[in-house]
Amino acid sequence: MLEMIKTVTLNAAIDKTVEIQDFRLGAVNRISKLQLDAGGKGINVSKVIQALAGESIAVGVLAGRNGEFIQAEIERRGIAHDFLFVQGETRTNLKVVDPVNSTFTDINEPGTTISDDDLKQLEEKIFKDFDSDTSLVISGSVPSSVPSSIYRQWLERAKTLGGKTFLDADSELLREGLKAKPFLVKPNLHELEHLVGHKLSHLEDIAEAARNLLRQGVEVLVVSLGSEGALFAYQEQVIHAEALTLEVKSTVGAGDAMVAALTLVPSGADYLTRAVRWAMATSAAQVTTPGTQPPELNRVLSYIDQVRFRLFV
């Protein structure tokens, strides 16, 4: 049977990316470029999986006109989906890109209300035809109406069915989700610091925190460090990969691109080095695209051999 990847997005969004030259607080700012994308972290993962010639089913919650726009975009791209439409309106997230000062500002709406009944219906969609050949990717925030234990519940059910599980979340969603011992977890540095309860100022500190999470049952931990690259931990190895030097058009979706690449790396010999190369190359290609447009495969492939990393002892 073919392997299937299901991505879950509980807080989908239209990503409205605006470019403003020399953006100023408390002043009138004029937009020089505007782009609308179907967004939400799981949806972004599905878009990049497709760009890497993989296949996934995007599962999630949509509402209103914005939800219809997102579904139409996903269908236009030819990505399989099984969305649940609920009452309300899917949020719009504003991304302000200022090329003059090289700043990227996110202004995110909270999201629509999801009821307990909605969650039950969504869970049915997630686990429809779910078996040991299925990977489950759960990422992003949830509306305030959703309990912080929801990711842990779904990850535990997926593991019971023999599926491979991936988690990319923050705060209590991350803390609770870790109890399910996912195969792979991808926090950024801020999320990892929030989890451990203190600053991690040096790579040695981050590496030690990563090793501690592996001891708790996570198999692969990837910590994205922005311009400092990323730290990868697997079995007894910790690797620090450098960020590629590129012209950054948008940082939105860089972590999602990394997760997408990691879902497609098969286990086996040299798993970690292959995971590092693919994750870093895909993330690099993502930041060179405007908005949350997925990168082109040719560009990802061109970056694979440019990835530089070292074993962290």
Give the active site residues.
256
Instruction: Residue 143: name the closest of 185, 93, 91 by CA.
Output: 91
In eight-state DSSP terms, residue 227 is G
Structure tokens at 124: 């049915």
Half-sphere exposure of residue 208: CA atoms within 13 angstroms, side-chain side: 10
Structure tokens at 276: 């590092």
Q: What distance separates the 2 farthest-apart alpha carbons in the chain?
A: 58
The structure tokens 């997926």 sit at 158
Rounded Cα–Cα distance for residues 144 and 180 (Å): 22
In eight-state DSSP terms, residue 14 is E
Sign of CA dihedral 61, 121, 218, 294: negative
